[in-house]
Amino acid sequence: MRYIAAYLLLQLANPEATPSAADITKVVSAAGIDVDSERVEKLLAQLEGKNIAELIAEGKNKLASVPSGGAAPAGAAAAAGGAAPAAAEEKKEESEEESDDDMGFGLFD
């Protein structure tokens, strides 16, 4: 991810230029992160001859088709108003019960 981020930063700084391995290494090193030159070269090989704007647009379309069901329960709890504190208390009670379920045995005993 860090190499892609560096590539995109360099691309934003100069849209006409294609970032090189040395450019990416310089950006990542400036952040104090060790650079794996093999991964940088692999990234550049995969991006060679491709338009970044088109790749981002394709990625957005793919992400739009992925179902995400995590937000619905939070919205329902917020809509219920006073039910949210009761649900929090129930979860707290459950976690206390679960901690008693180990019956004195630890994970590394």
* Distances, alpha carbon 38 to alpha carbons 1, 18, 30, 41, 44, in Å: 14, 18, 18, 5, 10
pLDDT, tens digit, 9 for 90 and up, residues 9-49: 998 898 888 899 999 999 999 999 999 999 999 999 999 98
Cα distance between residue 5 and residue 1, in whole Å: 6
pLDDT, tens digit, 9 for 90 and up, residues 41-90: 999 999 998 888 888 899 898 888 888 776 555 555 555 555 555 555 66
pTM: 0.56
